[in-house]
Amino acid sequence: MESTHLLNTSKKRVKIHPHTVTAKYATQAPYSPQPGVHTHFPQPGDEGYDDAPSFEDFGSFLEETSDKKQLTESRKWRLTLFGSKEKDTANKLQTLGGAEGSEGGAKAAKASGKGVGEQLASFGEASVSASRLTWVGLLGAALAHGCLIVLTRLASERFSLGPLFLLLVRSIVQLVSVAVPLHRGENLFGPRGYRLRLLCYGVAYSLSLCCAYASLTFVSPGDGTTTWRLATTALSAILAFLLLEERLGLADGITIAAGLCGLGLVLLPTADESNSDSQTDPVKFWRGAFGWSLSALAGLWMALALVGYRSLKERVGVGTALFTVSWTGCLLAPASLFLLQEGWSWPMSAEAWGLVLGLAACSVAAFLGMTHALTRLHPSLVSASQSLEVPVAMLLHLAVLPLAPTAPEVVGNVMVILSVGWLVAIKLLPARGGGRRQREEYEEILDSPIK
């Protein structure tokens, strides 16, 4: 835009052009035309009147090409560390497409015989159906995680199978997931431009599993799993805000905080643990501290993995993600075995092999449910829903290994169940009067003269 200003102005003439605007100010009246400055606009009936740009076209041109808009968008996306490369371009295409089709879409909606109510009902049914499938998958994943805790403990106590060895066998079995990306014609290591981020996701996920399984050597499976889940839920909320700019709603935040408080109650030491000699024995004390540290570190790595896949959800399928986690686990699990000097002990009976295969099947089911949910839900909501694994594991322990839980454990598990149940309810149950309000807003838009 180019402009020239002179003092003591009395008249102003503006020439509008698709690319430039030239403004000249006169110092005397009447104004005498100057060379190179057009003073006539096409009038209705004149030649070239239809080709002249309208003020609306010129306004949209300025809006799309303004430096302020480009600067705002560049600042917005540069703050997101894991933002997609094509996200800005896709948003621009969607904006242009929506602007072109808004008027036609409104007319078609009015002319359609279904009516506004039926359209809103169909949209709502499709959304609720997808949400229900997502939450069913998440609850199934939490059940599978609870079974994993019990199976890992049984394998360690009855068959002397180390946790890291179980992780290695599970990663090897999961390599059969390579058939999914091969069948779909996808690259095994992710699309071009996203392979490094997919590798970082696989390494973070596998490191989380290695730290979590290694901590079971130093602390009890219940305490290690609860610490892992608590750290994952809290840190995923923070990292999603910092790296993806995804915020939790007020109701979601309160519900997740209540669930975290329940997990904290589960972690309270019992009277026997408080009176044990681990407080005076330095070796036992530092072993326990190392185990707790590994559990918390596992939560940090898992939170990074969840946020990382959340940024790759539109580019990497669930099968490719499972294969990435499997082959990185096959590399990192033996390294962890070597560092911690954990012995190798192969299953020697059919029952032991059945338990190992069941553990691998539960791990695959849990992974699929969680990863699919990440394409639709906040990472912290996904992790918070998996807190149900703690009550599930407690119930299974009562059935397999009869151990009476303490009062804080019972209260904490009840709080976890109520928080997850409330979370599912507020996500799936429609708000009272919400459908009527949406219909009124939709009709107001359709009847508005401004589209």
Per the DSSP assignment, residues forming a β-bridge with 255 are none
Helix%, strand%, coil% for the chain, nearest 5: 70, 5, 25
pLDDT of residue 234: 95
Q: How confident is the model at residue 438 (pLDDT cuts 50, 70, 90)?
A: low
Q: Greater confidence, 197 or 436?
A: 197
Q: Greater confidence, 166 or 55?
A: 166
pLDDT digit string, tens, across residues 1-43: 444 444 444 444 544 555 544 555 444 445 455 555 444 555 5
User: Which of these ranges, 198-212, 327-341, 425-439, has the smallest mean pLDDT?
Assistant: 425-439
Q: Closest Cα partner for 313 from 363, 368, 366, 376? A: 376
pLDDT for residue 235 is more than 70: yes
pLDDT for residue 93 is more than 80: no
Whether 164 contacts 337, CB under 8 Å: yes
Q: How confident is the model at residue 383 (pLDDT cuts 50, 70, 90)?
A: very high
Cα gap 316→190, rounded to integer Å = 6
pLDDT of residue 110: 46
Give me the torsion for CA of 348, 349, 351, 357, rounded to 10°.
50
389 Cβ contact partners less than 8 Å away, ≥ 6 residues apart:
142, 143, 145, 146, 148, 149, 225, 229
pLDDT for residue 311 is more than 60: yes
pLDDT for residue 125 is more than 90: no
Provide mean pLDDT across the span 141-169.
90
Q: Greater confidence, 366 or 113?
A: 366
Whether 382 contacts 310, CB under 8 Å: no
DSSP character for 33?
Answer: P
Q: How confident is the model at residue 78 (pLDDT cuts 50, 70, 90)?
A: very low
Written in H, E and C, the secondary structure of 230-260 is HHHHHHHHHHHHHHHCCCCCHHHHHHHHHHH
pLDDT of residue 411: 93
Within 10 Å of residue 273's Cβ, how many Cβ atoms?
Answer: 13
Provide mean pLDDT across the span 111-134.
58
Whether 10 contacts 28, CB under 8 Å: yes
Q: How confident is the model at residue 272 (pLDDT cuts 50, 70, 90)?
A: low
Whether 324 contacts 162, CB under 8 Å: no
Overall pTM > 0.75 = no
Q: How confident is the model at residue 269 (pLDDT cuts 50, 70, 90)?
A: confident
Q: Which tokens go with 105? A: 């879409």
Written in H, E and C, the secondary structure of 179-190 is HHHHHHCCCCCC
Provide mean pLDDT across the span 53-74.
46
Q: How confident is the model at residue 258 (pLDDT cuts 50, 70, 90)?
A: very high
Q: Closest Cα partner for 138 from 397, 321, 370? A: 370
Q: Closest Cα partner for 164 from 329, 401, 379, 355? A: 329
Q: How confident is the model at residue 97 (pLDDT cuts 50, 70, 90)?
A: very low
Residue in the structure block whose two tokens are 């407080």: 279
Provide mean pLDDT across the span 320-335.
94
Whether 301 contacts 231, CB under 8 Å: no
What does the mean pLDDT of the chain come to?
A: 76
Q: Which tokens go with 83? A: 């933002």
Cα gap 319→181, rounded to integer Å = 6
